[in-house]
C-alpha cells in the first residue's frame, strides 16, 4: 500500500503539471476578458512541435521552446479574430481546437513510432538530495522533471504579476471594465493581445511537457481533453492563482488514479458480508474505461457549480469576460 501511495503521488505531480501550465495561461487570458476555448488545440500543436524538434535536434529544451512558440502562433489567430475582428470568442476557440487537432493528426502521423530522451528526472536543487529519501512523499515532491518545478515557479510569478505589478493590475482592469481602463489611458487592445499570447504560450508549454516529460512520445489526440479540464480549473480556482494549485492537484489525482488503479485491488474477501454485491460494483468502478471518465465527470460538476454560483452572483467572473470592446471616437 505504501508503494502504491508513493507511486500515486508521483503520477499526480506529473499529471497536475499539464493542467497547471494550461490553467495559468487560461487564467491570464480570462482575467483580461478573453475566453480561450482553443487551449486543447494549442496544447496539441505545442506537443507535436516540441516532439519533432526534440527528435530532429536532440534538445528537449529547444523542443519545449518551440512548443511555446507554436502555442503563441495559434493564440495570435484567436486574438486577431476576437480582439481585432470582434468575432465570437466561443466559436473562435472551438474552431482553433478543431484546427489544432486536425493539423497535428495529419502532420503527426509519421512521428508516432519515434522515441526521444525527454526531460529526465532530477532532484530539487539545494534541498532535494536530503529529502528525496523521505517515505512516501520523497520521490514525488523532490524528484521530478525540470518542467514540474518550472510550473510551480511560474505559478508564483503569475500570482505576483497579476496582483502586484502595474501591468498585471492593468490587465485585470481591462477584464473588469475596459471602457474605464481606456479612459485612464490603458491600451485595452494591446493588453488583451498580450494576455491571449501569454495564454497560448502556457498552453503550448503544457503540450510540450506532455510529450517531452510526461509521456516522452507522440500520439495523435494525446491531450485527451486536458485543455477543457484546464478551462474548468480556472472556474474551480475562482480566477485566483493560489487556488489553481489545489485544483490542479485534485484533477491530477483523478488522472493518476486511472493510471495506477491496476496495481491495487479494493475488493472484499470472498467470506466478507455482502462481498457478492459490493465486489462487482467496485470492479466496475475500478475498470480503466470507467476511471478514465472521472476527470471529465469532475469537470461537469465544476461547470454545473459555476452556473449555479453565477446565477446567485457568487462567482468572481471577470465582468467583461466574453465582451468585445470598441473604442468610441468623437
**How much is the mean pLDDT over the chain?**
85
- pLDDT at res. 82: 93
CA triple 323-76-151, angle to 5 deg = 95
Q: Which CATH fold would you assign to the domain 1-262+276-314?
A: ABC transporter involved in vitamin B12 uptake, BtuC (1.10.3470)
Q: At what angle do helices 188-209 and 39-57 cross, to 10 degrees?
A: 60
Work out the number of other CB atoms within 10 angstroms of the CB of residue 280: 11
Give the count of alpha carbons within 13 A of 316, CB side only.
10
How would residue 330 be classed by pLDDT, with cut points 50, 70 and 90? Answer: very low
Which tens digit of pLDDT belongs to each residue from 108-128?
988 987 888 888 888 877 776
How would residue 31 be classed by pLDDT, with cut points 50, 70 and 90? Answer: very high
User: pTM of this prediction?
Assistant: 0.87
Q: Which set of grid coordinates corresponds to residue 223?
A: 491531450
- pLDDT at res. 326: 81
Distance CA 316, CA 143 (A): 36
- pLDDT at res. 207: 95
More confident residue, 242 or 130: 242
Distance CA 124, CA 122 (A): 6
Which tens digit of pLDDT belongs to each residue from 34-51?
999 999 999 999 999 999
Which tens digit of pLDDT belongs to each residue from 220-234?
999 988 999 899 889
Q: Which set of grid coordinates corresponds to residue 279?
A: 465486489
Amino acid at each position: 500500500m505504501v508503494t502504491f501511495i508513493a507511486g500515486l503521488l508521483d503520477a499526480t505531480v506529473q499529471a497536475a503539471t499539464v493542467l497547471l501550465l494550461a490553467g495559468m495561461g487560461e487564467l491570464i487570458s480570462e482575467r483580461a476578458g478573453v475566453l480561450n476555448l482553443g487551449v486543447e488545440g494549442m496544447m496539441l500543436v505545442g506537443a507535436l512541435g516540441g516532439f519533432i524538434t526534440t527528435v530532429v535536434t536532440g534538445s528537449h529544451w529547444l523542443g519545449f521552446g518551440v512548443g511555446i512558440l507554436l502555442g503563441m502562433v495559434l493564440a495570435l489567430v484567436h486574438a486577431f479574430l476576437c480582439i481585432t475582428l470582434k468575432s465570437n470568442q466561443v466559436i473562435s476557440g472551438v474552431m482553433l481546437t478543431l484546427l489544432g487537432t486536425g493539423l497535428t493528426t495529419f502532420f503527426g502521423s509519421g512521428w508516432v513510432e519515434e522515441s526521444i530522451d525527454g526531460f529526465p528526472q532530477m532532484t530539487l536543487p539545494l534541498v532535494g538530495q536530503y529529502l528525496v529519501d523521505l517515505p512516501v512523499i520523497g520521490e514525488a515532491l523532490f524528484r521530478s522533471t525540470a518542467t514540474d518545478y518550472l510550473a510551480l515557479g511560474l505559478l508564483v510569478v503569475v500570482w505576483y504579476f497579476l496582483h502586484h505589478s502595474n501591468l498585471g493590475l492593468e490587465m485585470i482592469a481591462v477584464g473588469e471594465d475596459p471602457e474605464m481602463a481606456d479612459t485612464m489611458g490603458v491600451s485595452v487592445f494591446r493588453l488583451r493581445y498580450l494576455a491571449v499570447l501569454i495564454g497560448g504560450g502556457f498552453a503550448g508549454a503544457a503540450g510540450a511537457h506532455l510529450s517531452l516529460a510526461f509521456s516522452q512520445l507522440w500520439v495523435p489526440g494525446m491531450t485527451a481533453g486536458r485543455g477543457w479540464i484546464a478551462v474548468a480549473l480556472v472556474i474551480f480556482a475562482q480566477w485566483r492563482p493560489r487556488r489553481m494549485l489545489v485544483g490542479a492537484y485534485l484533477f491530477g489525482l483523478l488522472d493518476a488514479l486511472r493510471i495506477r488503479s491496476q496495481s491495487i485491488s479494493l475488493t472484499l474477501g470472498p467470506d466478507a458480508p455482502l462481498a457478492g454485491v459490493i465486489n462487482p460494483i467496485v470492479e466496475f468502478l475500478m475498470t480503466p474505461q470507467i476511471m478514465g471518465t472521472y476527470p471529465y465527470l469532475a469537470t461537469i460538476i465544476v461547470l454545473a457549480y459555476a452556473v449555479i454560483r453565477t446565477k446567485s452572483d457568487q462567482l468572481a467572473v471577470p465582468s467583461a469576460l466574453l465582451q468585445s470592446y470598441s473604442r468610441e471616437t468623437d
